[in-house]
Structure 1
């Protein structure tokens, strides 16, 4: 590829827990790439784990310094692609496939290259905000394939949720044959944003309602949002004698993973399966005896690929689905005009982890 342009980006980098630094980063724009100026972004629990230093020391040492954030949309300010136009609004895909990093041509990326989910699991991929500068910068260079145009009938704040939604979509798409069976019963563990968006995806895309979709959570106010599903408080339920389900989706993560996974094993019917989506820094002990005796299948799912974004954006054009997604959006966005504003937003997010997402609205011209 021929070099097209040299440019600088202004990045808000995390250099150590709670410590940010504004730096200028030299970048090269190449053929087949676009330059995106972030407009809005949201703070993920993964960002907070880096920010407050909850990752293992070796992970922090390996990945810092870096600009955080991987959930966002932006405006194209430069393009060398015929498919993406300047001033187009796009969703930023943070999971950059390895073959797009090898001058856009090499497919020599992984032993999984012949499988359909290669773009998600190649060891040659990079992920923005996880060892590589993320969205907290005023100029972001992406392969054109990783800048997905936003349909005009999807509001910016709904498109912003596409990263989280695609993670759910990707996981569920791997078991779509089971989800489309008329009698499949599903239980989602987790009453946070990931649990909500996963349950909403199951309801909207696969048509399961409270007769076949149950959500287990620990906080009544959070569970009340899941009005399209049966809602059960984990602390009030007898998992050993309760109704059996065919599939469990674990969306808790952290210290709650152990109880959620084992409770899921308890209520699974023989031959059932568990999708693990929650992230935990510690190893999680599970009841392998019942896994073996029931013939349970477990698989993990993380991140998503460009094809998942296109599918989710298509679903997001539905007004009823948009209405459900708005439940996790705040009434007001947090303006970010400087690194001081960004640090303040991260500090607030670290101290007060609300059910709603924190949405940052960037104004790069003011700095």
Structure 2
């Protein structure tokens, strides 16, 4: 840390579409297991854009100025006295949610469902779009030499995808349909292939995204028509030769029609995983779920082992993330990056840190 870097320049959301750059104190090492990270790359997530545009997501309301960002990688600049696995200069992917480690979900091994989770850029907690950010040692994942620091910022959405595919129980030979060709949907397809899925079909309403999906990972793509969910599901099954239905559906769009189509596209006894978040309440084809005795699961962020596996998948070449980076902005142009993402430009936009 140079003598001139005495402040922590941060990108702060003050209100709806009202942002500013603010010099804040550099976080101190408080716990002996703390690590101070100089943030170098941060991806923009849909939740970040939603807070910027609406000032809230459900019950999470921005009431005080909040630093944005949570998909980050950086370089270790300082470590606590009991840190043993990292040293100054190490490049790391940053898992941005700190659980309490004391509640029942934490103690039962599901820390991502922590009742008192402090998650970056979720009110009232500040995010990672700053020069420096503090994390516990065990939430920093050292990047192997063959993973560039820029790609390390995509370990966060890849961790989400790992968790979704785990929830789906994808095994070799499965047919998998993914709804939503955004970053998480695309990565769900990539992870499903890495887990041995024999056929991955990706559905979206935008042809440009389907074209990208086909080049990136998909064995086939599907664009729904303005017909009933059952009609779309039947056409999907016919076009991609899964007449009995898909083994697993991973829903990453949050769109109600996609949920309906996915349920109808599943085989009897298949598994549906809801990862995309749309409206808080939707109509639901309950008869199809019951009649086919489907396994219906939710998926939320990432749990134990998901980040570690995400790093390993990239390091071993089983999943590639570099293709998803389609936009890059300087830190001082962060607001324009949000505007572009809101406009639907590209797949994953990255902000370069200081």
Q: TM-score, normalised by structure 2?
A: 0.86
Q: Structure 1 144/251 Cα, relative in aligned 2: closer, same or farther at 3 Å?
A: same
Paired position in structure 2 for 1:128: 120
Paired position in structure 2 for 1:162: 155
Deviation of 1:181 (Å): 5.0
Paired position in structure 2 for 1:104: none
Can you list the C-alpha shifts for 1:71-121, whole angstroms capped at 9, x where unaligned? 01011111011221011111111121212xxxxxxxx22x224533x1211
Q: Is the counterpart of residue 148 in structure 1 residue 148 in structure 2? A: no
Q: TM-score, normalised by structure 1?
A: 0.83
Paired position in structure 1 for 2:233: 239
Deviation of 1:57 (Å): 7.9
Q: Structure 1 39/185 Cα, relative in aligned 2: closer, same or farther at 3 Å?
A: same
- Structure 2: distance between partners of 1:238 and 1:27: 52
Can you list the C-alpha shifts for 1:257-293, whole angstroms capped at 9, x where unaligned? 2101100111112212210010124312111121121
Ranges in structure 2 where 5+ consecutive residues have no aligned partner = 1-5, 238-242
Give the secondary structure class of the aligned counterpart of 2:61: helix
1:326 pairs, out of 322, 326, 330, with 322
- Structure 1: distance between partners of 2:26 and 2:79: 17
RMSD over equivalenced CA pairs, Å: 2.2
Paired position in structure 2 for 1:344: 336
Give the secondary structure class of the aligned counterpart of 2:141: strand
1:1-367 equivalent positions in 2, closer than 5 A: 9-21=8-20, 22-25=22-25, 27-30=27-30, 31-53=32-54, 55=56, 59-62=60-63, 64-80=64-80, 81-99=83-101, 108-109=102-103, 111-116=104-109, 118-131=110-123, 132-176=125-169, 179-180=170-171, 182=173, 184-203=174-193, 205-209=194-198, 212-227=199-214, 228-235=218-225, 238-240=232-234, 242=237, 243=243, 244-253=245-254, 257-305=255-303, 307-319=305-317, 321-322=319-320, 325-330=321-326, 333-336=328-331, 338=332, 341-350=333-342, 352-363=343-354
Equivalences, count? 330
Paired residues of 1:97 and 1:125 also in contact (CA < 8 A): yes
Can you list the C-alpha shifts for 1:30-72, whole angstroms capped at 9, x where unaligned? 211011111011111110000011635853245x421011101
Ranges in structure 1 where 5+ consecutive residues have no aligned partner = 1-6, 100-107
Give the secondary structure class of the aligned counterpart of 1:285: coil
- Structure 1: distance between partners of 2:176 and 2:161: 14
Deviation of 1:144 (Å): 0.8
Q: Report which stretch shifted further, 88-97 or 21-30.
A: 21-30
- Structure 1: distance between partners of 2:166 and 2:175: 16
Q: Structure 1 147/238 Cα, relative in aligned 2: closer, same or farther at 3 Å?
A: closer
Give the secondary structure class of the aligned counterpart of 1:239: helix
Paired residues of 1:8 and 1:139 also in contact (CA < 8 A): no
Deviation of 1:345 (Å): 2.5
